Amino acid sequence: MFFCVSTSCLSVLSVFLMVLEKVPSCDQERQSALDEDRQNPREAIFIPDCGPGGLYKPVQCHQSTGYCWCVLVDTGRPIPGTSTR
């Protein structure tokens, strides 16, 4: 249990909570997409391509649409202006 009475303690607690709320890894997102694809095989589900350590590969492609784009490897967020077909 945490009890904070100073602003410095609140800052430390904030950082600690941010670490606990980490972004899901590529592996987690990939598994979730594969599960969804099995349940809804007719849907065009994007399945991320993962590298070592749960990071995203820098180039992602949507197999059913043919589009590819660059992403930030730690978050998987698309880099604007990089989408191509």
Q: Which CATH number goes with the domain that contains 34?
A: 4.10.800.10
Domain annotation covers residue 2 = no
Domain annotation covers residue 46 = yes
Q: Rounded to whole angstroms, what are the CA distances from 43 to 31, 38, 39, 64?
A: 16, 10, 9, 9
3-state secondary structure of 15: helix
- The alpha helices in the chain, defined as continuous H runs, are 7-20, 26-39
The CA distance from 14 to 48, in Å, is 31
Q: Which two tokens mark 4?
A: 């904070």
What's the number of domains the chain is made of? 1
> What's the pTM value of the predicted model, to 2 decimals?
0.68
Domain annotation covers residue 68 = yes
State mean pLDDT over 7-14: 50
Domain annotation covers residue 49 = yes
pLDDT per position as a tens digit, 29-83: 999 999 999 999 888 999 999 999 999 999 999 999 999 999 999 999 999 999 9
Domain annotation covers residue 13 = no
Please give the pLDDT value at position 2.
Answer: 44
* Residue numbers of the domain that contains 41: 23-85
Domain annotation covers residue 17 = no
